[in-house]
Amino acid sequence: MRLSVIGCGYLGAVHAAAMASIGHEVVGIDIDPGKIKTLSDGDAPFFEPGLQQILTEGIASGRLSFSTEFAAAAGADVHFIGVGTPQQPGGHAADLTYVHTAVDSLLPHLSEGDVVAGKSTVPVGTAASLAPRVAATGATLVWNPEFLREGWAVADTITPDRLVAGVPDGPSGERAAEVLREVYHPAVASGIPFIVTDYATSELVKVAANAFLATKISFINAMAEIAEASGADVTQLADAIGHDERIGRRFLGAGIGFGGGCLPKDIRAFAARAEELGKSESVTFLREVDAINLRRRDRAVELVVQALGGSVFGKKVTVLGAAFKPHSDDVRDSPALDVAVRLRGLGADVMVTDPQAIDNARRLHPQLAYEPDRDTAIRDADAIALVTEWDEYRRELTPEHASSLTSGRVVVDGRNGLDAAAWRAAGWQYHGMGRP
């Protein structure tokens, strides 16, 4: 099939390349000429495992191209909208400017029978408000939310847990659902659930999923706070409750909490939308989820300060990690970088290292010192803080090796990823999150 993908950020670039990899002819469109040049040259604009390969293959096959012109979308059967919906400056609601601009720019190039598939995360009600404009061209709007995780984005796009299509009532909706089934044929044929529903439900599925995941993380982080006050160990607690299949161990990783370009802004936008709907009390708990999450960053900073005798002023603190999670170079709302910035604010001599995210981190926080080599970064540190659980730090850094690099013996494990007993046995003062 011929597809266009409007917006070539994280979602759009991966979607375009993944759709080409399953055999479609795809044009990715973005108004940013720099992004389009990078992609057209076959270079992945961000670190995402597997993306470089499908991008190179797609371009070489002739099935994948990129353009800054909306006219390039003409002739495609399906047009995906994958532009960003960031948090509004000065507010919690989502900024829908890019979605509206993308749809308006696409309208003149649509033909009778085309399908426009919104993938961006939007407040419930958005699709219904956009649908008449699309329908006036003879095309049909569907909402087809995306559930990809950074770091697993390629696999999540090609073989997702489920596919969801929010369609209008009547024959045009039924036909559009069939068209989407055809787009995702390999996944649908392999038995991946394909859920056809209305616009509002499809929009809510996405925000509800992210709200649930954020709640799960903040739940275990709340338990970490209680564990800290009572002498319990939250990691053992998570293992024990996680054995209950109804609860499950995944996303019960206590630590410095969630960040990134999705969970934080999505729960805020959800609360803002609920308020507009007169239902703010239904999601009041999301404020607590947000507050618990942010408190854990304070806690990590507090642990470093306490471990260094009440002040970090003039002390060298090596921060292991800048990305909001491993396997990503994304530093948007990164708890790791936030901890680094706060420590520097308290007068620490902060050195940040990360296998992938240093360039992005430096752009955002040029005031911090960066060192790509882990061992050089650790040399002569008074304290080490693990804040992004890359294997380079969590699995591969032994306490014996760290001891050979510095005489400092303080380690704060912001992700509960280290073997506490091994670090203590090697003479380190180990501090986890919610662990005695």
Tell me which of 84, 259, 321, 417 binds ligand UGA, using CB under 6 A.
Answer: 259
- Quick one: which H or E segment has residue 58? helix 51-61
* Structure token pair of residue 195: 């859920």
Residue 292, CB-side half-sphere exposure with 13 Å CA sphere: 20
* CA pair distance 341, 142, nearest whole angstrom: 42
Q: How many residues bind ligand UGA (CB under 6 A)?
A: 22
Burial label for 168, CB within 10 Å (0-12, 13-18, 19+), is buried
Catalytic residue among 262, 263, 331, 340: 262
Half-sphere exposure of 392 (CA within 13 A, CB side): 17
Report the alpha-carbon distance of residue 289 to residue 293 in Å, rounded.
Answer: 6
Residue number with the smallest Cβ distance to ligand UGA? 253
Q: Please give the Cα distance from 386 to 405 (Å, whole number).
A: 16
Contact 267, 214 (CB under 8 A): yes
Name the minimum Å distance from CB 236 to ligand UGA.
15
Q: Phi and psi of 416, rounded to 5°?
A: 50, 45
Q: Which of 98, 258, 370, 423 binds ligand UGA (CB under 6 A)?
A: 258
CB nearer to ligand UGA: give 301 or 308: 301
Q: Which of 116, 123, 163, 161 is nearest to 142 (CA)?
A: 116
Is 294 a binder of ligand UGA (CB under 6 A)? no
Q: Is 8 a catalytic residue?
A: no
Helices (H), 136-198: 153-158, 171-183, 185-189
CB of 222 to ligand UGA, least distance (A): 13
Q: Which stretch binds ligand UGA (CB under 6 A): 53-61, 249-257, 311-319, 340-348?
A: 249-257
Out of 325, 365, 431, 435, name the contact with ligand UGA by CB under 6 A. Answer: 325
Q: Which is nearer to ligand UGA, 35 or 206 (CB)?
A: 206
Q: Which residue lies nearer to ligand UGA by CB, 168 or 257?
A: 257
- End-to-end, the C-alpha distance of the chain in Å comes to 57
What type of residue sits at position 265?
K
Residue 321 engages ligand UGA in binding (rule: CB under 6 A): no
**Residue 333 — left, alpha, or beta (φ > 0 → left; ψ -120 to 50 → alpha)?**
left
Binding mask 205-224 for ligand UGA (x = CB under 6 A): -----x--x---x-------
Nearer to ligand UGA, 176 or 336 (CB): 336
Span of 27-35, 255-263, 392-400, 406-414 interacting with ligand UGA by CB under 6 A:
255-263
E-strand ranges in 144-242 read 163-166, 194-197
**Cβ-based neighbour number of residue 386 at 10 Å:** 26
Binding mask 63-102 for ligand UGA (x = CB under 6 A): ----------------------------------------
| Residue 45 makes contact with ligand UGA by CB under 6 A | no
Taking the least distance from each CB to ligand UGA, the nearer of 73 and 387 is: 387
Distance CA 192, CA 176 (A): 18
Q: DSSP secondary-structure letter at 141?
A: E
Question: How far is Cα 22 from Cα 73, in angstroms, rounded to an integer?
Answer: 19
Question: What's the closest the beta carbon of residue 378 comes to ligand UGA, in angstroms?
Answer: 22
CB closer to ligand UGA, 217 vs 383: 217
Are 16 and 64 contacting, i.e. CB atoms less than 8 angstroms apart? yes
Q: Does 251 bind ligand UGA (CB under 6 A)?
A: yes
Q: Is 263 in the site for ligand UGA (CB under 6 A)?
A: yes
Residues 112-151 that bind ligand UGA (CB under 6 A): 121, 146-150
Per DSSP, what are the bridge partners of residue 397? Answer: none
Q: Which of 7, 45, 255, 417 binds ligand UGA (CB under 6 A)?
A: 255
262 forms part of the interface with ligand UGA (CB under 6 A): yes
12 sits near ligand UGA (criterion: CB under 6 A): no
DSSP H or E stretch at residue 420: helix 420-425
* Piece in contact with ligand UGA (CB under 6 A), picked from 21-29, 251-259, 304-312, 376-384: 251-259
Task: State the residue for tokens 């706060």.
Answer: 342
Among 58, 257, 321, 434, binds ligand UGA (CB under 6 A): 257
Which lies closer to ligand UGA via its Cβ, residue 261 or residue 399?
261
List the catalytic residues: 262
Residues that bind ligand UGA (CB under 6 A): 121, 146-150, 210, 213, 217, 251-253, 255, 257-260, 262-263, 266, 324-325
